[in-house]
Every structure is written in structure tokens, then in C-alpha cells.
Chains A and B, each alone.
Chain A
Amino acid sequence: MKLRYFAWLRTRIGRGEEFLDPPAGIATVEALVAWLATRGPGYAAALAEPRLVRVAVNQDYVGPDHPVRPGDEVALFPPVTGG
């Protein structure tokens, strides 16, 4: 699974992207975010407030119940501020 991080999530986690194989049983966005938060202090800091984290799976916005599968591109980022 390809993980991508943007804006302050990227700076807190310390990288823009990585490939990870989440453990079996991580089947939803919510579970994935909770698992990522356990991977180290940077992840914990970035994901401390899940309500501030937006998630896209394969480049479309999704909610916490959306499934995640091997091969997906999952992006985590704060609410957008362009324009």
C-alpha cells in the first residue's frame, strides 16, 4: 500500500510517501489511521487529532468507514487551503 502525506502531516511524520503492508485486519481508513498512529512519535503527533485529518483513497475523498486494500494509494492531509 502506498501512503502519501501532505502539509503538516508530512512535516510531522517526516516523509512525503512510503510503502507499507499493514497487518491483517486493517480493513478501513479508520483502522489504518489508528494503526499508523502507533508507528512512532512523529505519526502519533501528526494523527493526534483525527478530526483534522482528511483521507483520500486512490485520489478520491473518503470517510472513515471506507475500505483500504493492498495496492491502494492512501493519502492523509489536513483540510485544504488553496485558492
Chain B
Amino acid sequence: MIRVEEAAFDVGRELAAFGTCDGLGNDKIGAVASFVGYVRGAEPGAPPLVAMTLEHYPGMTERQLAAIEAEARGRWPLADVLMIHRYGRLVPGEPIVLVAVASAHRRAAFEACEFLMDWLKTKAPFWKLEETAAGAEWVEAKTSDDAAAERWR
């Protein structure tokens, strides 16, 4: 399932529902791996972060996330995939993204989860605007994220 939403999500509730309560009900699932991304406070020496505003491209975002999920399902035997990404104004400590993957074995679940995040970071059309006392600045894309996505080619 893919969700792009403004509202906060409850990590515990989402993972409990993903693993047990959503009707998966099959005994083929042996592993659920998950990743939660949070709004991090300022780097040492930088002005305190007041908030992070995430902008996205409605329509294209969902299409790109679906394409990334399809790619993962083609590479690993996955029972289910959950991708939740928020947009709007978030404060430090709030969760931004949750990715969870269910599979028969842990290796596929771990790898697919990492793959989904690496590709999401470089392909899903989201942009971060950092707000500090010094003003607001768009976060620049990192070449390390490109390198992380590239290693799955």
C-alpha cells in the first residue's frame, strides 16, 4: 500500500496492522523489515531547526512510488509492501516516512527495504525546505544518495 499524506502516522499502529491485522493472515510471512525516517534536529554548529516543509508533486509521487514498489517486487519475493510518506510542515522528531516489507525470509525483507528507501530518496518527487531562525532554505540533493541508489543497478 502506498500513502502520501499530510497527517501524522503512528509507527507502532501501522506496523502492527501491517504484520497482523490487515488480512494478510498467511503463514508464508517470516519476516517484516521496516525503516522510519524522522525530521532530524540541526547539525552541530548549525542554527536550530524550527521545521521542515515537504513539498511534493501530487500524482507523479504516487506513480513513482508504485514504480519503485513494482521494481522491488520484481527483484525479491515480497508478500506485502507499505510505503507512507508525509508532506507539509513537520517539526524535529516527527516521522516523515515509513517503509515496511514482508517476506518469507529476512534477507529479502532487509534488502528490499533498503532498496525501496534508496530509490525513494532519488526518484520520488519530494523536496525539503528547512526553516531555521536564519530563514528558510531548500535542502540540496546529496551525491551520496545517488551513489546509494546506483549500487542496485
Chain A residues in the interface with B (C-beta under 8 A): 4, 6-8, 10, 56, 59-61, 75, 77-83
Contact = CB atoms under 8 A, between A and B. Distances in A.
Given A56-B60, A82-B121, A7 B141 contact: no
Contacts of A59: 57, 59-60, 63-64
Contact of A80 (B37, B129, B141): B141
Given A6-B55, A59-B59, A80 B124 contact: yes
A83 B97 contact: yes
B117 interface: yes
A82 B128 contact: yes
Contacts of A78: 127, 138, 140-141
A81 B125 CA distance: 8
Contacts of B97: 82-83
Interface string B11-40: 000000000000000000000000001000
A72 to B, nearest CB: 13
Interface in B44-60: 54-57, 59-60
